[in-house]
Chains A and B, each alone.
Chain A
Amino acid sequence: AQSVSQHNHHVILSEAASLELGCNYSYGGTVNLFWYVQYPGQHLQLLLKYFSGDPLVKGIKGFEAEFIKSKFSFNLRKPSVQWSDTAEYFCAVTHFKAAGNKLTFGGGTRVLVKP
């Protein structure tokens, strides 16, 4: 079974600092990769996704992620965070042959941005 690992459970940083959240997955075949964000008290929203093509994917709110197939990784980055980026971030994977729409999620990373 595929699995998704997010290395950091909690990250605390100051405004304007750079953010990088790690994500590794275990499935060896063709995958589709996602980052979702959950702001306090809100539901999950899609930040960005990778299906194919350019491995550097740009999403909303200045986030980007890089797919490195050889490392089974899909790390999320933002050059300069704002207080409003305080949220929980989830990496998720579905593989090409998955039946239905089975997303496998990582455990999440809580990010706190101090003003």
Chain B
Amino acid sequence: NAGVTQTPKFQVLKTGQSMTLQCAQDMNHEYMSWYRQDPGMGLRLIHYSVGAGITDQGEVPNGYNVSRSTTEDFPLRLLSAAPSQTSVYFCASSPDRYEQYFGPGTRLTVT
């Protein structure tokens, strides 16, 4: 199993550009989540999904969209990048409501 994979590893965007961060898992987990990690703030939940076709907002959803058309994939879309979205983004999946497995992260810089 590859576990949770994320692409790209690094990305630089200009303000106003859009992009999609990819996340895939091969463990057949129902639950998937996106977090952003900022210094001193830990990880904050952006969006999550409890299964294909079902998504919901987390703590900091503004400026981000998600969809879950398959169990395996959970892409995160930045609609119009802003410098405040400079962060490290982690995708996670879990087989139940509790334990989560994290991907390697995407480091995003918005200039």
Residues of A within 8 A of B (CB): 4, 6, 9, 32, 34, 36, 42-46, 49, 51, 90, 92, 94, 98-108
Given contacts A42-B104, A43-B105, A94-B98, contact A101 B50 (CB under 8 A): yes
Residues of B within 8 A of A46 (CB): 99-101
Given contacts A49-B99, A102-B58, A103-B100, contact A90 B42 (CB under 8 A): yes
Residues of B within 8 A of A4 (CB): 42
Within the assembled complex, what's the spacing in Å between the Cα atoms of A46 and B42?
Answer: 15
Across the interface, do B105 and A101 meet the contact criterion of CB distance under 8 Å? no
25 pairs from A and B in contact (CB 8 Å cutoff): A6-B42, A9-B40, A36-B102, A42-B104, A43-B90, A43-B104, A44-B102, A46-B99, A46-B100, A49-B98, A92-B42, A92-B43, A100-B48, A100-B50, A101-B50, A101-B92, A101-B94, A102-B45, A103-B33, A103-B45, A105-B35, A105-B43, A105-B44, A107-B40, A108-B42
* Residue of A whose beta carbon sits closest to that of B43: A105
Given contacts A43-B90, A43-B104, A107-B42, contact A100 B98 (CB under 8 A): no
Residues of A within 8 A of B26 (CB): none
Quick one: which of A9, A98, A101, A107 contacts B100, CB cutoff 8 A? A101
- A90-B43, A102-B45 known; 13 new pairs, CB 8 Å cut-off, are A6-B42, A42-B104, A44-B43, A44-B90, A44-B102, A49-B99, A92-B42, A94-B97, A94-B98, A99-B56, A100-B97, A101-B94, A102-B58
